[in-house]
Structure 1
Amino acid sequence: MSLSTSPAPTASGGYGAVTEVPGLPDGFTGTFTDTFATVDGVRLHAVVGGDGPPLLLIGGWPQFWYQWRLMMPALAEDFTVIAVDPRGSGLSDKPATGYDSATLARELHGFMAELGYGRFAVLGHDIGMWTGYAMAADTPGPIERLAVVDARIPGVFPSPPLIGDRWTTDFLWHFNFNRVHDVNERLVEGREDIYFGHQFASKALTPDAIPAEAVDVYLRALREPGALRATFENYRAIDATMEQSARRMAEKITIPVLAVGGAASVGAGAEGEMRLVAEDVTGVVIPDSAHFVPEEAPEALLDVLAPFLAPYRAASSA
């Protein structure tokens, strides 16, 4: 493993350095910097800053660390924030395989160890919820608390029918599309604005809840070499993730878990999902939000995170 805090090499590493992206809160680049570490040959990127006990932020599809931008300054007042790009996203490497939850979890544990964090809390959204659960179940020791936001975990949540009710079909049709080999990449390449633009417009509370400027940031990152294939690999690996989740369910995780759902998306289903796999679960539904809670309702999410993370912060400063 190796660690680097040097500026992001945009010519070879793609797009997504903290100094490149628009729309950041005032003073953001004075607090946060790009950090890299190599874990088992895979170079991972994170944006790191703040003061206090470490808090790992794991984002979802089809995003990267940038999705946390509106929350990171407030979190950095109480925590050292590590907003990571898991393999395949942002400035991290994009290997051909290795997108199952066990591999992602093992890699992020290694990443945190390389940064020198032996104990930490985790906040995961969407696919980050899959990975956060896998981290807590597979290697529970380092994780103090786990907060998860608006997702269904393959292998925990029963797979819906291919053709179901209208809402479920509209909400989840991308799963099967993303799992197809090759043809989906050829259909989407050059039309990223159509496909991913539809995802942001249809899975948010309103079509413009995620500003066009932010969507353009995600589109630019997805147009980098290897990014389109890598983002689909998260779904092509679901078969392995489902098998891994089924094995994990034999024993519930015991750390405190906060399960958050957007009212117009997963809603209370996030809590129900985590009660199947964890013993100590608090559930919250965020009103006036759909799937992209960290961007649609950042203040509301911060409000529910604060009391949940307060015991972790207090214990770390004692």
Structure 2
Amino acid sequence: MIIDGMALLFRGYYATSYSGYIMKTSKGVPTNAIYGFVKYMQDAISTFQPSHVLCCWDMGARTFRNELYPAYKANRGEPPEELIPQFDLVKKVVESFNIPSVGIEGFEADDCIGTIAKKYSQHLKIQILTGDHDSLQLIDENIHSIIMKKGMSNYEVYTLEKLLEEKELTPAQFIDLKGLMGDASDNFPGVKGIGEKTAIKLLKEYQSISGILENLPSLSKGIRTKIETELDMLHLSRKLAEIHCEVPVEIVLEECARNIDEVKVTAMFEELEFHRLLKDKSFLGNIKVNVQPLC
């Protein structure tokens, strides 16, 4: 299981702060996002029983995509003040679980996830735990995307079959979809005037952006004009949307095997004053589940 660390941390923060109350230690250190992170992580591990686990992180706001397009993600505000000190602290918590953390400056967590998933899917079944539908472009026979939905223990697991049945698109077509329609959350436009419905229709008929461009004369005048006018942005948006799967990242697979030391986890929980988790003996029991490798 490859965990999208920021996805879980932000989900943990907003799930526990919506009422305005922020959990803090007696020393005033905010911990609500970490508490939610641990709950989500252990629920997923207990539910899906992976033999190996690692966690990938974003390593700063700027990546190679900002070099390609300076406005990339420029629409995102600063993180909440109470969340900032939890960015480093949550990695210590992950370390206490003997789960390796991975992150490379200049790349997003998705790029690390994609690189590792593609490399090790030849030998292992890969489960990507995230809330981000961008991961759907990585799916193949041995890579599944576990999308976290609202609430605990609420997952949508996408396989190739599920993806084709529900979305009627292949993983590669999800990259082209973003190239055509853009992504408002990441702040790149795609082709102005082409939305999701039109983009999907074009991809189902012509298979890919390349196929669409080869058949420009067959398109309606309005669609053809929009694409021809925004051709450079179309190619740039597709490049921004594609997860880069050749990141210079290395892991030691054996170090990712589930090998949780309850003493280390308990000490971390005591430091963070997670009294409820410390009292939850069944929760601690989940840490010690013995699982066999999936390879």
Same structural fold, with TM-score higher than 0.5 when normalized by the shorter chain: no
**TM-score normalized by the length of structure 1:** 0.25
Instruction: Please identify which structure carries the higher helix content.
Output: 2
Structure with the higher strand share, 1 or 2: 1
Give the structure with higher Rg (CA). Answer: 2
